[in-house]
Structure 1
Amino acid sequence: MLFPTKLSSFEVIKKTRNDFEQINFRDFDIDTVPVVYIQRDKKNLYVGKSTDIYGRFSTHLKDIRKTFTEIIIIKSALFNESSIKHIETLLIDYLLADSKFNLLNKIKGQNIHSYNGIEDVNNMFMEIWSKLIEEGIASEQLGEIHNKFIYKYSPFKMLSSNQIKVCQKILEAIEYTSESRHLITGDPGTGKTIVLTNILYAIVYDQTTGKDREGLDREDVALVIPQNHSLGSYKDLIRKVGLHGITVLSPSQFIKKAKGKDDKYKYVFVDEAHRLKQYFSKQARDLRHLVTEDGYTTELELISEYAYHLTIVYDQYQTIRPADIDTAHFKRMTADYKTHILHKQFRLKSGDQYLAWLRKYLHIANDVAVYEKRVLKDYDFNVMDSISELYEAIKNLNDDHELCRAVAGYSWHWTTQKDKNSHDITDSVTGAQFNWNSKTKGWINQENSVEEIGCIHTIQGADLNYVGVVFGEEIDCGYAGEEDGSYDLSKANIIVSPDKYKDRNGLPIKGTDLNNEELKFYIKHIYYVLLSRGINGCYVFATNPNMQRYLKEMVRMTN
């Protein structure tokens, strides 16, 4: 049957295993032409491409792992070597995330460069996917898949040249040296986690044959995740992409397990390493593993002690608590690491200028020149007039796009943790009442999370389609108004109030923080993280009037 699209058409042809087992029969409609095919049985799928499908299937029929009974063949007059590589890569990526079937592919799809007709093929793929849902091969719409953790971070993603180069350099060091240390850095959205999962996958599977690498014990490979709220998502990702057997643990769990091993782990990877811990007396019970005979150590030092090859992902602007390793100390400890920088922004539609703009006006850093007149050109950034207005806007956006959440600075007690009939946050403008997140782990994917307001500990490291950020009373802005009523952004300064900040473990030890500089450092970083979560846009409201005006002036300068 032919399925027309606006610019192109494709044909779906169904075959059985028996059709290919007949040596003397060939269907000339599919013989020696470029096609993409999907093999399936009751539980498994395998995606491939070929310009000689009968020759290719002579190999498939000998593979005892492939017990396929049905073959779906996709053919189009537009197909050539470039387009079938493209369709194959897209199918591998999306069918893995759809997870209705187990995907047998162990070799990643190929990196696709621009070619003549690529837009037509992209349009065609949407129609192909709809047909696969109709055929019972896929179950979820493309938009739903885009929101899934496994889709965003799977090692089957196409990589940029910068990302490929980083992967290659680290893999070369791992292969040709007995020990190595690597530091991957870059802004949110530059693909640090995807690089990590690609390296992991390349260590386990030979990307020429698709077979497990000889001599590798998967228990010698570890992925360490410092953020408990996302640990389960990483474990699920590792299992679904065929990397089961790899150790996936929190830092303290890893350290405990490593101490009981006869030898070091051969390969260790740490994502979100800015959340690795140093000793902090307020959290002494949770940080007992950092106590030594002559003082204290850090999780990074202990992890390094148990690894031959160590690769960590780090963002210096995402350290948010006193128990996180101090930035200066972290830099000293990693001074001898080989640094790999990722530059290109893939997540935020605003691009990397938006992040530099945030760092400038949160007074975190002025490291990149910001062209303010264009910074919000392709980004939906709005200053709202109340918590209620922000909350309703995010709920409406969630109806249209899904994965939109409201979050806030830690300026309210978590009363509902003990009293479910109470509330946590009151809108001073409308009097409306709201609740904090009812759980921390996996909150953004919880069914009722759009009805709640999340904190930093639910959202760091996550991607949202839109984010709504409430600035609490713990952060304010020194007045920058002039006598004539004008406003001078350069004269504004960020102020924090320890008595309004309700994260007990986020407050420095009393008497040690001169002029609240340390607390200010953490709070500014928290808002930087919150404001960088939205792919398509960010809505904001500040409970303090001066901070609210500061936000409005920031936006006005971009118009």
Structure 2
Amino acid sequence: MDQQLVVFDRVMQIVRDHQLDGTNGRYVVMIKGGPGTGKSVVGLNLLSKILREEKQCVYLAPNAAFKNCMANKIDRERAGRLFKHPYFYNRELTESQKSFQVAIVDEAHRISSTPPPMQKKLEKSLVECIIEKTYLTIFFTDDNQMIRPKDIGSYSHVKETAQKLGCQIYEYELDAQFRCTGSEGYLNWLDDVLGIRSTANASGWENLDDLEFYIVDDPNVMKEHLIQLQAQGFDSRLLAGYAWPWSKTLQQNGQLMNDVKIYDGDTLTFEMPWNPQDSYKETKRARGIPTSGSDWAVNPEGVNQIGCIHTCQGLEFDYVGVIIGEEFRYNPKTETWEADVKKCHDKKIGSNSQTQFLRLAQNTYKTLLSRGMKGVFVYAVDKNTREYLKRRLKVVKDIDKARFYHKKLTSIRELFVGERIQIVAEEAPGYYSTDLVIPLHQYSLKPISHGYYFCDITDEQLFFENITQILENDEKEPDDFIKNMLKETPQIRNYAKAPSGLIVDIDILKFEPIVIVKRIVEGKEVTSMVFRTEVLN
């Protein structure tokens, strides 16, 4: 958080040091940052703090889904004052002929040359209009998330406009990664894999175990995984490129049209609806369907529809499944990516944008693939693309296998032996005992699901010294849930069956560990006991 705090403090210093009434000119702060670097977190905290300083402040976002999701967290009247589309902000100030003290422009790269609702070109760019009417404008930008030809809010355009208007400019950059389990290397790997640029992360990324990443051969399997994860309490969504039409009408029974269809030859193998339109004129939507694109992002029922770039940009989920459509595919003969604008159903991109479309498609899929905080599933409609992604992922996995030991059943002694406790481990004999109670005063609990928990062991050496008393006891057999967890959780490296008779007392409860595991947490190796209890549910 250091970078974010520095930027936050420096912007607040500008707010406090200046009257922001035009007497000393206008100020523009430019903050560059990729997906998951905390741009929105900084922006929302600035909004709150500036308002507490009794200065005027408004939060502008050209992406309606992001803006509406933020607005849904507070009452409607207050949201209408604080969160606006840049076009309406400009129109209000044009009509009132007034200037505003502070405007925070999030996702500035999505500002369009033909903004809604008129979708006509303005006499001046919307960036220029905003700066002219605001004493301090704070822009958050990422050129690699520009996904339409008419997106104009690039870093260079904002800077050139601010210079033309004689503004005092402050520039900052955020690069510390918080999404995708904090892996900047993963985003660099995506750049390399998608052909955006060559990077040093061509063969993988650091903290591989902290991010689950899978290439699947069946989108139905991906869908079922995400539905299960959502049922377990993890925010999970399916996303796709705009390679299918989006119906503006409902079925007669009020259900959404299954627009996203995937075929194997002539056989339909997969179908799902897009996230809902904000309104339907003729038919009332069936119960359980989210009320809008922004509701889709927060409603658990949203896992039953597929979101596109326009309903998820700027947002994040625990897990995402991304479907790569036929408009974007890898050509194994030329070893390059190709994009066909004729297979894209985003009407605002336009069929005349073929020369730009490859980069727009690359930006789109990088954005989709960076929405997951814990895990990402990927299915590509085109088989060659799927095989290419598998090859790239295999390189990552093969290198990872060479670097680390992987999940395997081992003994308690082998699990604990390391440099810190090597001497104790070698000297400690094994005994048979009926039971042993180990009091644990320093620990950390983390829920798994279905009443199962991790209990992290803080003092491993002391714990091992105690447990050696019952190492000759019979071992417990893990149940089916734990077996599946050990298999499906890449963060778990090694595990050992707990000896029978072991009871751990953590003051609030006593439990019997089933297995003890070595797992990776935020890049560090942690030893944890796995147990089940109803007490904490």
- Could you say which TM-score interval applies, normalised by the shorter chain? 0.5 to 0.7
Structure 1: how far apart are the matches of 2:129 and 2:222? Answer: 43
Conserved in 2, the CA contact under 8 Å of 1:507 and 1:519?
no
Question: Given the alignment, which residue of 122, 134, 138 partners 1:311?
Answer: 138
Structure 2: how far apart are the matches of 1:259 and 1:368? Answer: 48
Q: Counterpart of 2:390 in 1: which secondary structure?
A: helix
Q: Counterpart of 2:50 in 1: which secondary structure?
A: helix
Structure 2: how far apart are the matches of 1:402 and 1:347? Answer: 15
**1:500/1:390 CA distance change after superposition, 3 Å:** same
Conserved in 2, the CA contact under 8 Å of 1:350 and 1:377?
no
Q: How does 1:116-265 map to 2 (within 5 A)?
A: 160-177=1-18, 178=24, 179-205=26-52, 213=53, 216=54, 220-237=56-73, 247-265=82-100
Q: Which amino acid aligns with 2:151?
A: D
TM value normalised by structure 1: 0.61
**1:338/1:391 CA distance change after superposition, 3 Å:** same
Task: Say if 2:208 is the partner of 1:372.
Answer: no
Q: CA deviation at 1:377?
A: 3.3
Q: Which amino acid aligns with 2:62?
A: P
Q: CA deviation at 1:233?
A: 2.5
Q: CA deviation at 1:260?
A: 2.6
Q: CA deviation at 1:340?
A: 1.1
Structure 2: how far apart are the matches of 1:531 and 1:245? Answer: 31
Q: CA deviation at 1:263?
A: 2.7
Structure 2: how far apart are the matches of 1:175 and 1:395? Answer: 48
Structure 2: how far apart are the matches of 1:246 and 1:312? Answer: 19
Conserved in 2, the CA contact under 8 Å of 1:414 and 1:436?
yes
Structure 2: how far apart are the matches of 1:176 and 1:375? Answer: 42
Q: Counterpart of 1:415 in 2: which secondary structure?
A: coil
Deviation sequence 1:119-175 (CA, Å, 0-9, x none)? xxxxxxxxxxxxxxxxxxxxxxxxxxxxxxxxxxxxxxxxx2222211121122222
Q: CA deviation at 1:410?
A: 0.8
Task: Say if 2:180 is the partner of 1:348.
Answer: yes
Tell me which residue corresponds to 2:106: 271
Q: Counterpart of 2:396 in 1: which secondary structure?
A: coil
Structure 2: how far apart are the matches of 1:349 and 1:239? Answer: 32
The range that moved more, 547-556 or 413-422, is: 413-422
Tell me which residue corresponds to 1:441: 294
Q: Which amino acid aligns with 2:191?
A: R
Task: Say if 2:320 is the partner of 1:467.
Answer: yes
Structure 2: how far apart are the matches of 1:368 and 1:264? Answer: 47
Q: CA deviation at 1:402?
A: 2.8
RMSD value over aligned CA atoms? 2.6
Question: Given the alignment, which residue of 490, 493, 506 partners 2:349?
Answer: 506
Q: Counterpart of 2:181 in 1: which secondary structure?
A: coil
Tell me which residue corresponds to 2:528: none
Q: CA deviation at 1:369?
A: 4.9
Q: Counterpart of 1:278 in 2: which secondary structure?
A: coil
Q: Which amino acid aligns with 2:118?
A: D
Q: How does 1:407-446 map to 2 (within 5 A)?
A: 407-415=239-247, 417=249, 419=251, 420=255, 422-429=257-264, 431-439=269-277, 440-446=293-299
Q: Counterpart of 2:171 in 1: which secondary structure?
A: strand
Structure 2: how far apart are the matches of 1:247 and 1:541? Answer: 39
Q: Which amino acid aligns with 2:35?
A: P
Deviation sequence 1:266-325 (CA, Å, 0-9, x none)? 111111111111138xx7x6234x422xxxx22111111110011011111111112211
Deviation sequence 1:218-256 (CA, Å, 0-9, x none)? xx322112111232332244659x987953211111011
Deviation sequence 1:50-80 (CA, Å, 0-9, x none)? xxxxxxxxxxxxxxxxxxxxxxxxxxxxxxx
Q: Counterpart of 1:557 in 2: which secondary structure?
A: helix
Structure 2: how far apart are the matches of 1:268 and 1:428? Answer: 47
Structure 2: how far apart are the matches of 1:251 and 1:202? Answer: 21
Question: Given the alignment, which residue of 299, 311, 314 partners 2:126?
Answer: 299
**1:550/1:417 CA distance change after superposition, 3 Å:** farther
Q: Which amino acid aligns with 1:502?
A: H
Structure 2: how far apart are the matches of 1:244 and 1:382? Answer: 38
Conserved in 1, the CA contact under 8 Å of 2:237 and 2:320?
yes
Structure 2: how far apart are the matches of 1:373 and 1:298? Answer: 39
Q: Which amino acid aligns with 1:287?
A: Q
TM value normalised by structure 2: 0.63
Q: Counterpart of 1:558 in 2: which secondary structure?
A: helix
Structure 1: how far apart are the matches of 2:270 and 2:75? Answer: 43
**1:164/1:505 CA distance change after superposition, 3 Å:** same
**1:373/1:339 CA distance change after superposition, 3 Å:** closer
The range that moved more, 451-460 or 338-347, is: 338-347
Q: Counterpart of 1:337 in 2: which secondary structure?
A: strand
Q: Counterpart of 1:428 in 2: which secondary structure?
A: strand
Question: Given the alignment, which residue of 535, 539, 542 partners 2:380?
Answer: 542
Q: CA deviation at 1:192?
A: 1.2
Tell me which residue corresponds to 2:150: 323
Structure number with higher strand proportion: 2
Tell me which residue corresponds to 2:501: none
Task: Say if 2:369 is the partner of 1:531.
Answer: yes
Conserved in 2, the CA contact under 8 Å of 1:404 and 1:464?
yes
Structure 1: how far apart are the matches of 2:205 and 2:98? Answer: 56
Conserved in 1, the CA contact under 8 Å of 2:230 and 2:236?
yes
**1:441/1:253 CA distance change after superposition, 3 Å:** same
Q: Which amino acid aligns with 1:235?
A: A
Q: How does 1:67-106 map to 2 (within 5 A)?
A: none
Q: Which amino acid aligns with 1:190?
A: T
Tell me which residue corresponds to 2:332: 479
Q: Counterpart of 2:269 in 1: which secondary structure?
A: coil
Q: CA deviation at 1:460?
A: 0.7
Q: Counterpart of 2:208 in 1: which secondary structure?
A: coil
Tell me which residue corresponds to 2:400: none
Structure 2: how far apart are the matches of 1:375 and 1:474? Answer: 32
Q: Which amino acid aligns with 2:59?
A: L
Question: Percentage identity across aligned positions?
Answer: 25
Q: Which amino acid aligns with 1:267?
A: V
Deviation sequence 1:97-123 (CA, Å, 0-9, x none)? xxxxxxxxxxxxxxxxxxxxxxxxxxx
Q: Which amino acid aligns with 1:525?
A: N
Q: CA deviation at 1:464?
A: 0.5
Conserved in 2, the CA contact under 8 Å of 1:359 and 1:528?
yes
Give runs of ≥4 in structure 1 deviating > 6 Å.
242-245
Conserved in 2, the CA contact under 8 Å of 1:403 and 1:464?
yes
Q: Which amino acid aligns with 2:365?
A: Y
Q: Which amino acid aligns with 2:348?
A: N
Q: Counterpart of 1:372 in 2: which secondary structure?
A: coil
Tell me which residue corresponds to 1:126: none
Q: CA deviation at 1:262?
A: 4.4
Q: Counterpart of 2:232 in 1: which secondary structure?
A: helix
**1:438/1:279 CA distance change after superposition, 3 Å:** closer
Deviation sequence 1:73-99 (CA, Å, 0-9, x none)? xxxxxxxxxxxxxxxxxxxxxxxxxxx
Conserved in 2, the CA contact under 8 Å of 1:407 and 1:470?
yes
Structure 1: how far apart are the matches of 2:17 and 2:245? Answer: 53
